[in-house]
Amino acid sequence: MASESIHLSHASIEGLTLLESLCDKRQIEAKEGQGYMERQINQRMSTLAHSEIRAMTQACEKVNGINMAQGVCDTPVPSVVLKGAQEAMESGKNVYTRFDGLPELRYALAAKLARRNGIMADPETEITVSAGATGSFHCACLALLNPGDEVILFEPYYQYHISALLAVEAVPVIVKMTAPHWTFSTDELERAISPRTKAIIVNSPGNPSGKVFARTELENIANFTIRHDLYAITDEIYEYFL
């Protein structure tokens, strides 16, 4: 059975290679015969790009420079994580989970939210585990926003927030904060509202400004969000940095 599986796998790969070769040949022939129409990728993806931070990291690697743009962790993996991963694989936990994540993790997150944040969330219906905050943010935008929906965010903002909004054809609406303490005007926040406003993004501690919203600011934003019936999308990845 093993040899048959390998043979079938190789046959499939060879078949795909032949298909690609034939497609390339037909495209060349079509171009030469003026019957070729160039295909374009999905226009939603044309605005999706890495953040400037990652672009700077790539540029830094090319010149063997010192990277002061991205916080790349160079410490070893904690032994408890290595041991836990090994034990999970040895016990057979290496296949698909439920779409919303392992129950142990969802219940642990619910307990943490209740204990540290005062948020009572049902781990069975209100918590979804994702592969990183970036993927989570993009999925939230896909799930909640329709083309043309307006979303308020504070400037300075994390570039990926803008990119993800544009990728789902939402419309970013900017409320500028003022240096050096990155304060914002509640009047300007009110002026950002329109009939198409659907959500507000709050990133605290903020990237790239380091802005930590004060309790009074968060209370104002919460009241604003409730008053206008908006979704609040919060990015709190640096929650324990301060």
Q: Is residue 194 part of a domain?
A: yes
139 in the same domain as 109: no
pLDDT reading at 1 higher than 70: no
Domain boundary among 129, 150, 175: 129
Domain that holds residue 117: 96-129
Express each pLDDT in 47-64 by its tens digit: 666 667 778 888 888 898
* Tens digit of each residue's pLDDT (9 = 90 or more) over 92-130: 888 888 889 999 999 999 999 999 999 999 999 999 998
pLDDT attached to residue 94: 80
Number of structural domains the chain divides into? 2
Residues 138 and 241 in one domain: yes
Phi, psi at residue 151, to the nearest 5°?
-130, 125
Which one-letter DSSP state was computed for residue 47?
G
Q: Per-residue confidence at 46, pLDDT binned at 50, 70, 90? A: low
Q: What is the pTM of this model?
A: 0.76
Contact criterion met (CB below 8 Å) for 170 and 145: yes
CA distance 102 to 87: 15
Can you give the pLDDT at residue 145?
97
Say which DSSP state 225 is in: H
CATH number at residue 169: 3.40.640.10
Question: Buried (b) or exposed (e) across 137-160, using 16+ Cβ within 10 A?
Answer: bbebbeeebeeebbbbbbebbbbb
Cβ contacts of 45 within 8 Å, gap of 6 or more: 167
